[in-house]
A and B are shown apart, each in its own frame.
Chain A
């Protein structure tokens, strides 16, 4: 490139920048919003932005998908370090601790006050707001897309062994799984992967079992893992037994079919999955697949508690201009308004996050619609009891990495390379290593 073209290119770039800023000055106030969801749910996120942008003329949300929840968190951190971060970001449940301790956010309680937002905190379901709240009960982020786990079962397979409804207890569930396999009614009675969310986190919540001390970490960064000594260990041993008997099967993307695909094509009779996949199942199940959902089963004799909320919340980041914050406040008020909270469950499997939106949907007969039947079970599960200090949630540092450690140990145990109890003990000691390192990294900081 010679010097003249270089100068010309430079001038045109300056002209473009100047032109763009002149244009935006006349136009609406823009702010950046990054989301993590991908695929069909990612499209819904983009659509939600469009609904906001179409709804008014002052502000404009510039929404960018980051290609996954973990990527959204990584990219926001990298962007924050170079001061290029968005105003609002969607962060999944497991990233909550990092953001609370980051010093990089504008906490939601103050944000609502400072920008006169309409959000009513007590309208959120307690199971949802408690999960994201600080130990003092303050909200630092805005609950958004929320789900919980359910048991999906194939009604035809169940009918063949004389069962007409979802199993209430783990004993009867496993009994049915064995009968289905023994009778040859399905390729496998139960398929699972190594995701810890259903078997560890949800299971422990509904059984009111701690996975870590200090109320699952809410009370301090010095929590220690304890799940290897609870009934969770027996639960995993029971899974292993089913696997060894051939009644259950491991299904992952690496084996060729995920649990969702195996359930959708009828080769597997039961699976544990998020209610967010309720919509996905309706669109991907093979023709005539007769399926239903139930609450996650509990061991007989257990006093069931509420299940955990999953999904993501919206964080407002620090260091933005007043105009951008006003735009962000308008956006948050919009997406958390009752009509919009009602809209979300109609286009996804997510649950309505506020009590008023749920009542309105229920009154309109939403849960009676054929393709929405069973969605109310997620609400029952989430609100089964008021959250206890244990069933409230999990607040552990670097939880993504802890999940990965547990996953690796479960892989070793389920593939027969290790005894289940030895694997869980190892998972606990490794997770504690991660927690201690996290505690040291944030030395002198307190969980809010």
Chain B
């Protein structure tokens, strides 16, 4: 069935979408074009005397093995963080949906972490998980040197995954809960009467019906892990130890703003943009095919 509304005059259509287009142009296409320009030049920090260098910046980026390390870390981060986030959020949402004790309070407070700025999350997690002085340091009293994100790259990586997921669980939770509550009660009740247990109902009924929500959150979570994890990394690990948490977006920041090498940062931004766009494309092309919209 074709439900599209059609406009007879194109100028009215353009007038109506113009505010949105202008915003997209100013906040996306313009900066993206500027980055592309910088990526092809060598830009002095204070400006002036810009040299066109063609693809030299990209060649430098791609021939740097530490850049590939950063790509690897970013992909691992996106995968682990997204998995942890989605599983935990779904779990919490189904608890609340089942109206377990205290669910009214949880429904209300689970959203809070998303409202906290990333650097604040980072600071809190740094204190809590500090190996010498944090709450988690008691683990080290029992098992010496088990946990040390300051010196052990794996621990540091786990820590930023936990911190980022903690923040993103809140966001995903709301969507999962809304999705679960949109499933007509009659369906789950009918299944219950047929003798399906809680897990069976979740697996065979609720999850398939949640597929559109699931897909939406997958795209959002992966994108966010790539582009929005900077605040957490900056405060908790600063990219270290020994570049174990040097995510692509953090490397862009440190090369661009700390190192004042705008051209190198611009080239990396373009690469990151292409990567995120192609990941999203893949998800829409292949994953979305398996999603049935109700």
Contacts and interface: CB of A to CB of B under 8 A. Distances in A.
Contact of B47 (A81, A251, A256): A81
A74 interface: yes
Chain B interface size band reads: 35 or more
B257 interface: yes
Contacts of A321: none
16 contacts: A101-B44, A103-B46, A250-B150, A254-B130, A254-B241, A255-B132, A256-B150, A400-B258, A400-B260, A404-B259, A408-B243, A412-B243, A417-B242, A437-B261, A440-B42, A442-B44
Contact of A74 (B133, B243, B257): B257
Contacts of A226: none
Contacts of A250: 150-151
B148 interface: yes
Interface class of chain B by DSSP: loop
Interface of A: 70, 73-74, 77, 80-81, 98, 101-104, 194, 250-257, 398, 400-401, 404, 407-409, 411-412, 414-415, 417-418, 430, 434, 437, 440-444
Nearest to B47: A81
B224 interface: no
A204 B133 CA distance: 34
B259 A255 contact: no
A408 B242 contact: yes
Interface string B149-186: 11111001000000000000000000000000000000
Nearest to A445: B49
Interface in B219-275: 236-243, 254-255, 257-261, 263-264
Contacts of A101: 44
B46 A401 contact: no
Given A77-B260, A250-B151, A401-B259, A256 B131 contact: yes
Nearest to B241: A411
B208 interface: no
Residue with the highest number of chain A CB atoms closer than 10 Å, among B131, B259, B264? B259
A253 B242 contact: no
Nearest to A442: B44
Nearest to B131: A255
By DSSP majority rule, is chain A's interface helix, strand, loop, or mixed?
helix
Interface in B51-98: 51, 60, 66
Interface of B: 42-49, 51, 60, 66, 126, 130-134, 137, 148-153, 156, 236-243, 254-255, 257-261, 263-264
Contacts of A442: 44
A255 B47 contact: no
Contacts of B126: 253-254
A251 B47 CA distance: 39
A398 B255 CA distance: 10
A441 B241 contact: no
A417 B152 CA distance: 10
Contact of A404 (B49, B130, B150, B258): B258
Contact of A255 (B46, B148, B260): B148
Given A257-B133, A398-B259, A412 B45 contact: no
B258 to A, nearest CB: 6
A430 B67 CA distance: 12
A255 B48 contact: no
A257 B259 contact: no
Interface core residue of A250, A254, A398, A408 (most chain B CB under 10 Å): A254
Contacts of A404: 254, 258-259
Contact of A415 (B43, B137, B241, B254): B241
A340 B255 CA distance: 38
Contact of A254 (B49, B150, B258): B150
Contact of B46 (A104, A256, A398, A444): A104
A256 B42 CA distance: 40
Contact of B255 (A80, A401, A407, A415): A401
A423 to B, nearest CB: 9
Contacts of B131: 255-256
Nearest to A101: B44
A143 B260 CA distance: 23
